Structure 1
Amino acid sequence: MNPPKPISPFRLSSLLRLQNDPKLALQLFQNPNPDPKPFRYTHLSYDLIITKLGRSRMFHEMEQILSQLRRETRFSPKEIIFCNVISFYGRARLPDRAIQTFESIPEFRCQRTVKSLNSLLNALLKCKEFEKFDGILSGIDKFATPDVCTYNVLINACCSSGSLGDAWNVFDEMLRKHVCPNVVTFGTLISGLCGDSRLDEAFRLKEDMVKVFNVKPNAFVYASLMKGLCRVNELSLAFELKKEMVANKLRLDSGIYSTLIAALFKVGRKDEVFVVLEEMRENGCKPDTVTYNAMISGFCNEKDFEAAYGVLEEMVAKGCKPDVISYNVIISGLCKEGKWREANDLFEDMPRRGCTPDVGSYRILFDGLCEGMQFNEAAFILDEMVFKGYAPKSASKTKFVEALCQEGNLELLCKVLNSLVKGNVIDGDAWSLAVSKVCKKEKLSNGSELVDIFLKDTETVPIR
């Protein structure tokens, strides 16, 4: 029997591309052949394995491959590999690792350009590490010249941090440096202005982008303007913009229609929602989760929970799976109306419906039960929440403990404090409140006696 043919560098790249399991891909990369001779890896094989590991957040293994790449002498890696690594760290909210990767690029005999700079700035933007921008930008003239993408990220960062004045300063600098703004530049500025309710300025900028800069608005620009108009109940103008989009042959997506649907509910024009839905279908735009959630929210605000449940059923019938937001909106609405049993029933039914409750689900139900003085049910939800690694908001914990102290239910208070302690989610305010209230009520001399009474199953009371 002939021994299997050794895998060539080209064949390895093909196999890596076909392998969907990153762990198996890593094994293949590390042991392509039984032959102990050093394997001649290609740039493509490095690129493929680093991308697979990065997308799977196997960062330790990815760093090992990068260390191996650093020792490679037959070629110099291309900058795109490091741009991808920086982006992976940005998505994982690991800004320091993204910066370290950017700074280490020269160690790989690779020249940094504006591409890796933009990747880093975008990663820091995702992480909301705006204060690190200045340090990165200082001295960039030595290896890169900012382009339109650079300025777009900076403008986005300014708008995201609420500094519209700084965003305009960056825009002015663009023009001084003769960098032509594009539709992303204007879209970001217009979105920021609309978010700040400066609609007149936003519409003037829309006119300028066409007349002065010869840049046509895209769907994002229109969506931002329509959201701004709907926020101030200017629905007539919002529908005029929709007509303008059609005239400009721009595709109306579900986000546009969802914005209009939510606004119609808000101003009490529910009957027109079904007209919008019909138009969606005629234009070949299928309602998605966002669309249905806008309807669920609208019906819940009108306290029409039967209709909200009907939307859930329609979603399933139309092959659109409800997400956790769909259920959280209804649970929140039921709690606000004092329908705690119905809210709890829906909460418990979520897994059967194929949707796992998240921390928001637990917090909504817990707060609703506390507000309705359903303390036993709230304690049960709290215990389950802590068991799953979640925690109520700090103010909610303190409010619950205070309510139990005022009610004088020592047994339930003991259970609640035990849950908080076991989950290591008790804070100083809640514990101090329990100590002061109960020591006074029970005429205890100090908090240690309270510990003995309340926390027999725990050795210490961690406070954070």
Structure 2
Amino acid sequence: MLSRLGLRLAVKSNMQWAKFMTQGVRSKALSPNEIPLQTTEKDDYFAAVQHVSNIVRHDFYMERTLNKMRLSLTSDLVFRVLRACSRCGTESFRFFNWARGHQPASYTPTSVEYEEMVKILARSKKYESMWKVIQEMKNQNLGLSAEAVCGIIEEFGRHGLTDQAVEVFNKCRHFDCAQTVEVYNSLLFALCEVKMFHAAYALIGRMIRKKVVPDKRTYSVLVNGWCSSGKMREAQEFLEDMSRKGFNPPVRGRDLLIEGLLNAGYLESAKEMVRKMTKEGFIPDIGTFNSLMEAVCKSGEVDFCLSLHYKVCKLGLCPDINTYKLLIPPVSKAGLIDEAFKLLNNSIEVGHRPFPSLYAPIIKGMCRKGQFDDAFSFFSEMKTKGHPPNRPVYTMLITMCGRGGRYIEAANYLMEMTEFGFIPISRCFDLVTDGLKNIGRHDLAKKLEQLEVSLRGD
């Protein structure tokens, strides 16, 4: 039954897409600022974009299929399709060429589509086509933005083509693009990708001579590169040298070194540096601290995270919402429910709203420990205080109830979520109805089966 249902829903969706394509899109061209405001129209529009994207990615006879659809092309539609197909260089270029030749009287690409196409071709290593597109832009007096130039330079860097990256950098004036700090940073990134640190350092000297002020990424790129090569001493000397010249980074040097160590995978070295900082009475930047918490939590060292968290808070660090989002799930998963509650209460006290991704891990942790009554009470309390659960929270709670043999409660939550407009997934229905039948509650199981049928429209 479920497989037939899935097929029927898919066919219905495709029919809706087709209707929108042949009527909605054809009747009115939508510019980026004219996307329909009604929710259903928005859904239809984005479904249409997705439908065209699937054709571009998968249809061997793409152009023939698109011609049959009689699309009214707009800048926004073409851009969204290109962005959705950004990993398919050849197919995206075919679509772009088709779009330009399909309705030349009504649709002319803007610099937005051109730049997206340039970035896709650079990412796909289709350099000959990329340069042709750039030349077409030049012929139409369209310049490249700094963002597009940065994207090209960094893609060359990722592929080890440093000479080409430098060539693009030197041609900025040809592209009507200023050599901003972002463009310098991209070339720094390209040089560090191939470990040309002396050239990168020389480039920073040129930045200073040209009076381009380095920003945080300038320092981060070079420090990350040195740390990834195990050159901690060079990274420290670089930061000290820049400080002597009067160019202090927007964050402290040790924070940059910690982040560089984390990005390079040297977790223990990063932890040791933070330990030394806290012993001296200093606290890391909140972004650096969160990066460390994320890396350490992934390694499973929850106790270290909690200890460090409370230590830096005593020293004056003010955690942000991301800190709690990083800490509460692993703490709850480790079964430290009291600590998880403490963190949640701390977040509420400083003004953060406890949204589902904060309290759901605590509920799941209590269910894992068999504390279902406490979990149900906490769940009700959150709803009473005006923090409504979402569909994933209901799905998680129903699943945990089913695994714990609490089928009556699972059935109640399943019906409750439908009252709030959330349609349960089929697995939840199957889990609960099978469990109810096993404990002899065939009447309630039958009601749930009827509910599922009515929701699915079968």
Tell me, which stretches of 5 or more residues in structure 1 are unaligned?
1-53, 61-94, 101-115
Superposed CA deviations along residues 160-203 of structure 1, whole A, max 9, x for unmatched, are: xxx94499798477368564755422413544787xxx4x4463
User: Partners in 2 of 1:150 and 1:293 — Cα distance?
Assistant: 27
Superposed CA deviations along residues 414-436 of structure 1, whole A, max 9, x for unmatched, are: 23323433444444243344256
| Partner in structure 2 of residue 267 of structure 1 | 268
Computed over aligned residues only, the root mean square deviation of the Cα atoms, in angstroms, reads 5.6
Q: Which residue among 182, 185, 194 is the counterpart of 1:184?
A: 182
User: Partners in 2 of 1:148 and 1:117 — Cα distance?
Assistant: 9
Give how far 1:247 is off. 4.3
User: Partners in 2 of 1:429 and 1:167 — Cα distance?
Assistant: 50
| Partner in structure 2 of residue 365 of structure 1 | 362
| SS of aligned partner of 1:350 | helix
Superposed CA deviations along residues 95-136 of structure 1, whole A, max 9, x for unmatched, are: 949989xxxxxxxxxxxxxxx9579969x99xxxx9xxx9x9
The one-letter code sitting in structure 2 at the alignment partner of 1:242 is L
Superposed CA deviations along residues 356-397 of structure 1, whole A, max 9, x for unmatched, are: 23443234434544554544444556664797455365xx86
Aligned length: 331
User: Partners in 1 of 2:372 and 2:226 — Cα distance?
Assistant: 43
Give how far 1:340 is off. 0.7
| Partner in structure 1 of residue 417 of structure 2 | 420
Give how far 1:218 is off. 3.0
Check conservation: 1:121, 1:153, Cα contact below 8 A.
Answer: no
| Partner in structure 2 of residue 245 of structure 1 | 242
Check conservation: 1:151, 1:174, Cα contact below 8 A.
Answer: no
| SS of aligned partner of 1:357 | coil
Check conservation: 2:115, 2:148, Cα contact below 8 A.
Answer: no
User: Partners in 2 of 1:238 and 1:378 — Cα distance?
Assistant: 49
Residue 254 (structure 2) pairs with residue 257 (structure 1): yes
Give how far 1:272 is off. 4.3
Superposed CA deviations along residues 388-412 of structure 1, whole A, max 9, x for unmatched, are: 455365xx86665444323321122
Check conservation: 2:169, 2:187, Cα contact below 8 A.
Answer: no
User: Partners in 1 of 2:164 and 2:356 — Cα distance?
Assistant: 39
Query: 1:247-326, aligned counterparts within 5 Å?
Result: 247-254=244-251, 256-261=253-258, 263=261, 266-267=267-268, 272-273=273-274, 276=277, 288-291=285-288, 293=290, 301=301, 303-304=303-304, 305-315=306-316, 321-326=318-323
| Partner in structure 2 of residue 407 of structure 1 | 404
The one-letter code sitting in structure 1 at the alignment partner of 2:303 is K
Relative to structure 1, the CA distance from residue 419 to residue 191 in structure 2 (aligned partners, 3 Å threshold; closer, same or farther) is farther
Q: Which residue among 215, 218, 224 is the counterpart of 2:214?
A: 218
Give how far 1:324 is off. 1.1
The one-letter code sitting in structure 2 at the alignment partner of 1:203 is F
The one-letter code sitting in structure 1 at the alignment partner of 2:328 is I
| SS of aligned partner of 1:338 | coil
User: Partners in 2 of 1:230 and 1:353 — Cα distance?
Assistant: 36
Give how far 1:440 is off. 5.3
Check conservation: 1:299, 1:307, Cα contact below 8 A.
Answer: no
Check conservation: 2:335, 2:369, Cα contact below 8 A.
Answer: yes
Query: 1:1-400, aligned counterparts within 5 Å?
Result: 96=76, 117=111, 140-141=137-138, 143-147=140-144, 149=146, 151-152=148-149, 154-155=151-152, 164-165=158-159, 171=165, 174=168, 177=171, 179=173, 183-191=181-189, 198=193, 200-201=194-195, 203=197, 206=200, 209=203, 218-219=214-215, 220-228=217-225, 230=227, 235-254=232-251, 256-261=253-258, 263=261, 266-267=267-268, 272-273=273-274, 276=277, 288-291=285-288, 293=290, 301=301, 303-304=303-304, 305-315=306-316, 321-379=318-376, 384=382, 388=387, 391=390, 393=392
User: Partners in 1 of 2:155 and 2:420 — Cα distance?
Assistant: 39
Check conservation: 1:312, 1:322, Cα contact below 8 A.
Answer: yes
Give how far 1:335 is off. 2.0
User: Partners in 1 of 2:450 and 2:163 — Cα distance?
Assistant: 58
Tell me, which stretches of 5 or more residues in structure 2 are unaligned?
1-32, 38-74, 81-109, 125-129
Relative to structure 1, the CA distance from residue 97 to residue 390 in structure 2 (aligned partners, 3 Å threshold; closer, same or farther) is farther
User: Partners in 2 of 1:378 and 1:230 — Cα distance?
Assistant: 45
Give how far 1:149 is off. 1.9
Check conservation: 1:398, 1:429, Cα contact below 8 A.
Answer: no
Check conservation: 1:336, 1:368, Cα contact below 8 A.
Answer: yes
| Partner in structure 1 of residue 106 of structure 2 | none
| SS of aligned partner of 2:248 | coil
The one-letter code sitting in structure 2 at the alignment partner of 1:266 is L
| SS of aligned partner of 1:322 | coil
User: Partners in 2 of 1:454 and 1:311 — Cα distance?
Assistant: 53
User: Partners in 1 of 2:269 and 2:172 — Cα distance?
Assistant: 49
Relative to structure 1, the CA distance from residue 243 to residue 363 in structure 2 (aligned partners, 3 Å threshold; closer, same or farther) is farther
User: Partners in 1 of 2:409 and 2:341 — Cα distance?
Assistant: 20
Give how far 1:413 is off. 1.0
The one-letter code sitting in structure 2 at the alignment partner of 1:452 is K
Check conservation: 2:433, 2:445, Cα contact below 8 A.
Answer: no
Check conservation: 1:401, 1:433, Cα contact below 8 A.
Answer: no
